[in-house]
Structure 1
Amino acid sequence: MTLTASYERCRKLNASHGRSYYLATLLLPAWKRPHVHALYGFARYADEIVDSFGMTEDRETALDGLTARLATALAGEPVDDPVLPAFAHTVRSFGIDHADIDAFLRSMRADLTVNRYATYDDLLGYMEGSAAVIGTMMLPVLEPLPGAEERAREPARQLGLAFQLTNFLRDVAEDLERGRVYLPQEDLGKFGVEVEDLRRPRAVPAVRELLAFEARRAKDHYRSALTGIELLVPSSRPCIRAAYELYGGILGEIEAAGHDVLVTRARVPRRRRIAIFARHLLAASSADRAERRVTVETP
């Protein structure tokens, strides 16, 4: 697997499985996109081991194998793997913190044995590795403004949490098929919801109230993330604004359906996705040209 082929494999994973985010990445300067794809591709690759309905081999063994190959790749040694060469190259190129990678793998490993979370704080502990660190790993590629690196970290974490919680609300039925309930057990009890209520063809009022409560939490994370966009270089802002609107749009679709996520999977209509992309395209092109012009003119 050449490095070029590995980056292309990651791009295809992003295009196939992360349609909304892939559309947003098209607003980035061309040189940044492969690195974002590599980070997404690695996350998806590990996620498929613990989540795929088609996985037939032992998941723990498969995750152990991925972890071992990753250690080899991060040490600069060649590995027989379709995704890791690109991921390791991006990690080395941007000095991505290995502690974030370790935290991500711990959360993936938790999915092998943990299928309930007692409180929201417990769930946040899981999402720290499954989502918040994805935001902080992306940050060096997206380029915070000089001097804003530390200030940009918390909004990046919050955006990862917002996206993850949005996915949890959208995918209640799908996660339950895997035997998992990411909605905190404390909250189910507060609203009088039983797990069997989540198996119904339609959401009963108590389930809708529970999901509305969790949606408000997601909105809090979105609000906490918003200030971070202006801390990025201008050429990265349109991508993150578009991703913010696209994922926020999923939450909006959930609300528009009265928080009944059991009838159908919430999706932002294609026409609206294209409209969001088009609205940010001019700003992305202008910022990219401006940054390249400064680079050329600087002695």
Structure 2
Amino acid sequence: MTRRELDAAGVTDPALRAAYTRCRHLNARHGRTYFLATRLLPADRRPAVHALYGFARWADDIVDDMGAGATTAERAAALARLEEQLGRALTGTRPTGEPVVLALADTAARYAIDPAHFTDFIASMRSDLTVTDYATYADLRAYMHGSAAVIGLQMLPVLGTVTARDRAAPHAAALGVAFQLTNFLRDVGEDLDRGRIYLPADLLAAHGVQRDLLLWSRRTGRPDRRVTAALRAAEDLTRAVYREAAPGLAMLDPVARPCIRTAYVLYRGILDSIAESGYAVLHRRAVVPRRRRAVVAADGLARVLAARWGAAAHGTAPVPPRHDAHCAKESG
């Protein structure tokens, strides 16, 4: 499957093929819901999505998973090295470091993705080294611009649109935020173990919840009605952001819509699982049941086939945007 995707995307350089393959492995291993949705894209666009995910995952792992013994200074230095490699790569210098940077730089050039999106992303990752909570939702939203909204904006050139891209951009950014808010709610216990709280302090305080109460519930495994109320409010907030994102689905290239719609339904389904568990996210991780995932994936596949058949029947099979100069250089 990897070879077919790379052949379809016109990636011939052996080092690039290895880099994209590494990103695909990261997506398959860590982004199960995202990876499932990605498989619904046309084969030639999948490597780009793997590259975007792989780089984001690599940076996130530097911040969170370098090992218990890694100091903040060591994490900051590793992130700075990654940023330096990325900066050189985006200006045309062949990177010699992490393969994910090579794949990302190639994707950014092929699809003319704004480099500022990557700069903003690194800035949010850097803040995770020192910031452990957010006083207000506005503060959290500012952080999520770099950590989530720009992911949606990076994806947009790869997916393609049937309308002006600037009309679709706010909805793409909102979808990135909705996905991350879902992760924050699902992972609140795990984040607490790392010393972080991504639920706004003012939202928690409105229901009488502070860090100490969350820690107590996490430690004892006992629920508390105040925590449950706060988590329900966070769910409501997240669903509102999904509603912000929804109009953007129809603005995407028809052959890309099933992928993003599937991700939309599956991620929103995590909220359903959280509610069905009684908001027990401090004690166990909420997941979408396998059968439900299969049903959504099957629906997505049916939509993919319909979209491709329709495009073929009308002779309008879409061609994803390419950076022609870069592609000529790579193929030559």
Shared fold (TM-score greater than 0.5)? Answer: yes
Separation of aligned partners in 1, 2:190 and 2:139? 21
Give the AA of the match of 1:206: R
Aligned length: 297
Cross-structure match for 1:256: 276
Displacement after TM superposition at 1:54 (Å):
2.2
Alignment of 1:73-112 (within 5 A): 73-80=89-96, 81-112=98-129
Give the AA of the match of 1:78: R
Structure 1 residue aligned with 2:41, among 19, 25, 28?
A: 28
Give the AA of the match of 2:126: R
Separation of aligned partners in 1, 2:112 and 2:99? 22
Displacement after TM superposition at 1:292 (Å):
5.3
Cross-structure match for 2:329: none
CA contact (8 A) 2:20 2:47 kept: yes
Displacement after TM superposition at 1:295 (Å):
5.4
Cross-structure match for 1:6: 19
Cross-structure match for 1:282: 302
Moved over 4 A (4+): 295-298
Q: Which whole-Å deviations, capped at 9, do the CAs of 1:124-170 have from their partners, x for residues lacking one?
A: 0001110001001100000011x431110011011011101010011
Q: Which whole-Å deviations, capped at 9, do the CAs of 1:276-299 have from their partners, x for residues lacking one?
A: 10111022023234435625899x
Alignment of 1:1-299 (within 5 A): 2-52=15-65, 54=67, 56-57=69-70, 58-80=74-96, 81-145=98-162, 147-199=163-215, 200=217, 201-291=221-311, 294=315
CA contact (8 A) 2:201 2:210 kept: no
Relative to structure 1, is the Cα distance of residues 181 and 253 closer, same or farther in structure 2, using a 3 angstrom cutoff? Answer: same
Separation of aligned partners in 1, 2:148 and 2:137? 15
CA contact (8 A) 1:197 1:203 kept: no
CA contact (8 A) 1:159 1:225 kept: yes
Give the AA of the match of 1:90: T
Separation of aligned partners in 2, 1:79 and 1:292? 39
Q: TM-score, normalised by structure 2?
A: 0.86
CA contact (8 A) 1:136 1:156 kept: yes
Displacement after TM superposition at 1:249 (Å):
0.5
Separation of aligned partners in 1, 2:255 and 2:88? 34
What SS does the corresponding residue of 1:234 show, helix, strand or coil? coil
Give the AA of the match of 1:155: H
Separation of aligned partners in 2, 1:175 and 1:183? 10
Separation of aligned partners in 2, 1:12 and 1:20? 14
Q: Which whole-Å deviations, capped at 9, do the CAs of 1:52-96 have from their partners, x for residues lacking one?
A: 162654100000000011111112222222211110000011111
Separation of aligned partners in 2, 1:64 and 1:53? 14
Cross-structure match for 2:6: none
Relative to structure 1, is the Cα distance of residues 272 and 104 closer, same or farther in structure 2, using a 3 angstrom cutoff? Answer: same
What SS does the corresponding residue of 2:295 show, helix, strand or coil? helix
What SS does the corresponding residue of 1:198 show, helix, strand or coil? helix
User: How many percent of aligned residue pairs carry the same amino acid?
Assistant: 50
Relative to structure 1, is the Cα distance of residues 190 and 286 closer, same or farther in structure 2, using a 3 angstrom cutoff? Answer: same
Separation of aligned partners in 2, 1:233 and 1:268? 27
Relative to structure 1, is the Cα distance of residues 209 and 153 closer, same or farther in structure 2, using a 3 angstrom cutoff? Answer: same
Displacement after TM superposition at 1:202 (Å):
3.0
Displacement after TM superposition at 1:27 (Å):
0.6
Separation of aligned partners in 1, 2:68 and 2:45? 32
Relative to structure 1, is the Cα distance of residues 111 and 297 closer, same or farther in structure 2, using a 3 angstrom cutoff? Answer: closer
Separation of aligned partners in 2, 1:188 and 1:272? 31
Q: Which ranges of structure 2 fall in alignment gaps of 5 or more residues?
A: 1-13, 320-332
CA contact (8 A) 1:156 1:225 kept: yes
What SS does the corresponding residue of 2:120 show, helix, strand or coil? helix
Q: Which ranges of structure 1 fall in alignment gaps of 5 or more residues?
A: none
Displacement after TM superposition at 1:102 (Å):
1.0
CA contact (8 A) 1:203 1:261 kept: no
Separation of aligned partners in 2, 1:213 and 1:295? 45
What SS does the corresponding residue of 2:178 show, helix, strand or coil? helix
CA contact (8 A) 1:202 1:262 kept: no
